[in-house]
Chains A and B, each alone.
Chain A
Amino acid sequence: MALESGEVEKIAHLARIAIRAEDVSEYRRHLSRILEFVAQMNAVDTHGVDPIAHPLDAVQRLRPDEVTEVDQRERFQAIAPQVDAGLYLVPKVIE
């Protein structure tokens, strides 16, 4: 399955990853090679096979509804790129 350059750019946008124009063709080549490789799966008929998302047939455990966390804002924001008045700052977002 060969990808078009435009598809690479579309995926890169969905994934919010900047790719330099000069690198697009290499990504295209690598991604096409990988997709071609994984297409080997199509050799087997999986009609009627239930997909599994986890190796074990375990079920979700539930947690009691208790507040166990305390305020650690100072610690968490010590590693943040930009904060002010307890808020994380990002470039202006227009709704």
Chain B
Amino acid sequence: MSDWEVVIGLEIHAQLATRSKIFSGASTAYGAAPNTQACAVDLGLPGVLPVLNAEAVRMAVKFGLAVEAQIAPRSVFARKNYFYPDLPKGYQISQYELPVVAHGHLNIDLEDGGTKRVGITRAHLEEDAGKSLHEDYHGMTGIDLNRAGVPLLEIVSEPDLRSAREAVAYAKKIHALVRYLEICDGNMQEGSFRCDVNVSLRPRGASGYGTRTETKNLNSFRFLERAVLYEVERQREVLESGGRVVQETRLYDSARNETRSMRGKEEAHDYRYFPDPDLLPLEIDAGFVESVRATLPELPDAKRLRFEDQYGLSPYDASVLTATRELADYYEAAAAACGGEGKLAANWVMGELAGALNKAGLDITASPVSAERLAGLLRRIADGTISGKIAKQVFEAMWEGGEEADRVIEARGLRQITDTAAIETIIDRVLADNPTQLEQYRAGKDKLFGFFVGQVMKACQGKANPAQVNELLKRKLAG
């Protein structure tokens, strides 16, 4: 059996989060009734003309800067000609020879702890097509053109990825990045972030590329991973049985977990690209680029390093907490408001809070416990007012009732007992109530120490400071 190297490149379509479409003033809001957001330009009615949305350009430039790419001082919109019912004009306005962004790169984390630099060949602006609805409309297909003309940034990677996991790591990194940049909402269910993956195999050590297939319609990272794994296996079998891989477009069928050839698409692959004569060359000057650069937020990699440095977090914790901009913002707000207890805040955000959010199916932005409130709780742990164990009770109450930590602690009397005399009184009573156990302990049965701790904590409803209880109990038991 030959040793194959997998070669993967990704084309990601990120829907840009503009209010209006790329070439018309129609709304891009998701979920409207069919064709109510398709204006004359989107419908390709005769005589109407496209005018480019400034915000789409700004967002493309922002992405380009974030991946350290070249921003083309001059780029050109071209028409990609083909007939399809959800493509109203019979062509898609895209960029072909001169894209707005070229030659960028992104580092992804590998499983062995290293990083890999993935080249970004280009990113270009284009318009989305509409939707074909294949439910039965009198035996016909229904066309909804609300999505026609929604701005897309197509991000094309170099064939630098070597495994399904790398492909997923790259896609996730781009996903996090476009959301950090606030240029795409990243909603994969609604189709705001879609991946097409090019896969080929070559004998390990070969320098040329094998014939590749392009698999479309991957609307989750899991499907991306599965589609790559399936396609690698399929191609391996073809090659090892002496066959040849056919260059084609394939569709991933998630229900069957397989990719299949898209019939008949091949013959039409003559897109007759040419510069769109209704649009003029897009010129972007250095001043514009700098004005966009000034709006760049701290990017995920930089933020992660800062978190490690500033809050003393492990690389793992820092990477989890910077996975999304919202989570990172929440964490930082909580850490700052609890007086710099970075580690404590990290434990709580990644532990109790993440667990509760996950259970409730909520996003961090919808957390019933705000960062400020969580910090209020963390402050009480830090200053010894409550123990970590009691804190979990308080958190639960805050989650359910939406109250501040201090109010919950006061209302339920959960304040930790730190008064030595008070604890000693409880200990004395416990020892008096359990003479048999006391005798056994003093006879050498050390294991009973835990029993006494439990009895004391029970007697004070868990409110005594555990460290203090241990110390005082040891002294009393020693007689």
Contact = CB atoms under 8 A, between A and B. Distances in A.
In-complex A–B contact (CB below 8 Å): yes
B403 to A, nearest CB: 41
Contact of A84 (B18, B51, B77, B142): B142
A6 B263 CA distance: 23
B219 interface: no
B43 interface: yes
Contacts of A53: 76, 275, 277
A5 to B, nearest CB: 18
Contacts of B43: 76
Contacts of B140: 82, 84, 89-92
Contacts of B52: 60-63
A64 B51 CA distance: 10
A65 B282 CA distance: 16
Tell me which of A62, A82, A86, A87 has the highest count of chain B C-beta atoms within 10 A of its own C-beta.
Answer: A87
B38 A76 contact: yes
Contact of B51 (A63, A82, A91): A63
Contacts of B211: none
B75 to A, nearest CB: 9
Given A59-B280, A59-B283, A94-B263, A89 B141 contact: yes
Contact of A67 (B20, B38, B85, B281): B20
Contact of B20 (A66, A82, A94): A66
Given A62-B57, A63-B54, A76 B35 contact: yes
Nearest to A52: B275
B19 A66 contact: yes
Interface string B9-39: 0000000001110001111000001111111
B281 A87 contact: no
A16 B117 CA distance: 45
B36 A93 contact: no
Contacts of A16: 83
Contact of A86 (B20, B25, B33, B40): B33
B122 to A, nearest CB: 19
Interface in A43-83: 53-54, 58-69, 71-73, 76-77, 82
A85 B34 contact: yes
B231 interface: no
A88 interface: yes
A86 B53 CA distance: 27
B262 to A, nearest CB: 7
Judged by DSSP, the binding face of B is loop
A91 B143 CA distance: 11
Residue among A58, A65, A67 facing the most chain B CB atoms (10 A cut-off)? A65
Interface residues of A, number: 34
A65 B38 contact: no
Contacts of B262: 95
Interface residues of B, number: 53
A90 B19 contact: no
A41 interface: no
Contacts of B270: 14
Interface string B72-91: 00001100000101000000
Contact of A71 (B19, B37, B142, B282): B37
A91 B56 CA distance: 34
Given A53-B277, A59-B282, A68-B20, A87 B35 contact: yes
A56 B39 CA distance: 29
B241 to A, nearest CB: 28
A59 to B, nearest CB: 4
A54 B54 CA distance: 21
A72 B143 CA distance: 16
Given A59-B282, A76-B40, A76-B45, A87 B277 contact: no
Nearest to B151: A65
B37 to A, nearest CB: 7
Interface string A21-57: 0000000000000000000000000000000011000
Given A53-B275, A87-B143, A92-B139, 13 more contacts: A14-B268, A59-B283, A63-B53, A65-B19, A65-B20, A68-B20, A69-B24, A72-B39, A85-B34, A89-B143, A91-B140, A92-B134, A92-B141
Interface of A: 14, 16, 53-54, 58-69, 71-73, 76-77, 82, 84-95
9 contacts: A59-B283, A60-B279, A67-B27, A69-B25, A76-B40, A86-B33, A86-B144, A91-B140, A95-B132
Closest 9 CB pairs of A and B: A68-B25, A87-B142, A65-B55, A62-B54, A69-B39, A86-B34, A88-B143, A53-B275, A60-B280
